[in-house]
Amino acid sequence: MAKSSSFSCSACGASFSKWSGRCEGCGEWNTITEDKGLSSGGPAKKSLGMRRGRTIPLTDLATEETPPPRSHSGVGELDRVLGGGLVAASAILVGGDPGIGKSTLLLQAAARFAEAGVKTVYVSGEEASAQVRMRAQRLGLAQAPVKLAAETNLRDILTTLEAERPQLAIIDSIQTMWADHVDSAPGSVSQVRAAAHELTTFAKSNGISIIMVGHVTKEGQIAGPRVVEHMVDTVLYFEGERGHQFRILRAVKNRFGPADEIGVFEMTGAGLSEVINPSALFLSERGQPSPGSVVFAGIEGTRPVLVELQALVAPSPHSQPRRAVVGWDSSRLAMILAVLEARCGIPFAGLDVYLNVAGGMKISEPAADLAVAAALLSAREDTPLPADTAIFGEISLSGALRPAPQTENRLKEAQKLGFTSAIAPGGGKSVSVKGLSQRKVSDLTGFVGEFFGAG
């Protein structure tokens, strides 16, 4: 029985079971081509796939197919985000803004892996080997046993990797790779999808770990079809503000470890250095208590992190006041303002509201609601909160406060950094930490009346 062919549009990436002149997805003409894998093409080419016609009972997986232990790079923050180390035969996608430090981080990681005995190949599609070597000298990695290559032809890369048989291959970047069986320009949707598919298949069938670098769009998503993120095992985003030296490596998908785990790095003249205690670093520049400044005890992945929230409330000269947010969800801020006005009788009409997460950190968990409300009220009433107090808790639309998960870890982190009190929602499991007093609050109205004398 003949194998059925598949077709895809080189402009938008839509898939079809048969060829047609016009793409139904984007409306372009003559962009639908037949998909041919690199492993196809006749008996002279060796298949890159798994052995055919062979199945393994689930109960026998502990014998022949048991994966080897994880490889550790020696960079604690990177190993933490990967879930405890690099898993053999895994495909990892790393995305980030241009110039954020992706190539620097991966070159340092390649050197560490190689020094730990992992055979590593670094393939650059954007720079020549001499340019990569210059960066390695600047980072003090010139003597690292890493093999370099500068190539964009996917077939040549796979042939070289099959001959070298490394344990780790780094592809920088996936948008520069081109497969000669796809009739479209490098960086297009079809090329990115084909290159990611072939590299992932090669990693699984040959037991090689492959890390692919991906550029991001204006919206912050990895450029190309979202199907690329579904192909790989792990998706990491390298985040950070250009005005800050801190960089956050965040896992948004991980089949071998917890998602939403973060690793914190600091950009220095000698490259990226890992930050062992990010809470102390984020709070290192915090000065005297001032209105609008609040410390939030948060959880990122499995790690407790304390960050400073800064709010500014000022009269607006415009008919529509501004609502500016950096590092938090703007729609969540609008909800907090509405709850404060509807449940506590505190209006923000005619006032500009600015909210900032210090240090370039990005917060997504709802447990920051109470800390944001405290920062807004402190700025509006021009009343500073105690400097030795950490705050956390989720606010519902009724104004009630909900307990936050991992309360004990948040309190222990605050106590370790010298905080003596914490404001947390009432209810839930009672947790006590030696040296830290807790003030339980059941609803937002009670919090406003206790600390600001209103509501």
Amino acid at the residue 41: G
- Smallest CA-to-CA distance from 210 within 259, 173, 176, 171 is with 171
Answer yes or no: is 74 a known binding residue: no
Amino acid at the residue 370: L
Answer yes or no: is 42 a known binding residue: no
Gyration radius of the chain's alpha carbons: 26
Answer yes or no: is 98 a known binding residue: yes
Answer yes or no: is 243 a known binding residue: no
Q: How far apart are CA 98 and CA 238, in angstroms?
A: 10
Answer yes or no: is 329 a known binding residue: no
Q: Is 20 exposed, middle or buried (0-12, 13-18, 19+ CB in 10 A)?
A: exposed
Q: How far apart are CA 271 and CA 133, in angstroms?
A: 14
Report the greatest alpha carbon distance in the chain: 82
Answer yes or no: is 36 a known binding residue: no
Does 173 sit behind a cis peptide bond, omega within 30 degrees of 0 on the bond before it?
Answer: yes
178, two tokens: 């081109």
Let me know: does 283 contact 306? Beta carbons within 8 Å. Answer: yes
Let me know: does 23 contact 32? Beta carbons within 8 Å. Answer: yes
Answer yes or no: is 140 a known binding residue: no
Let me know: does 87 contact 145? Beta carbons within 8 Å. Answer: no
Q: How far apart are CA 421 and CA 407, in angstroms?
A: 14
117 Cβ neighbours under 8 A, 6+ residues apart: none
Answer yes or no: is 171 a known binding residue: no
Helix (H) or strand (E) run with residue 407 in it:
helix 407-416
- Could you tell me which residues are annotated as the binding site? 96-103
- Could you tell me which residues are annotated as the binding site for ATP? 96-103
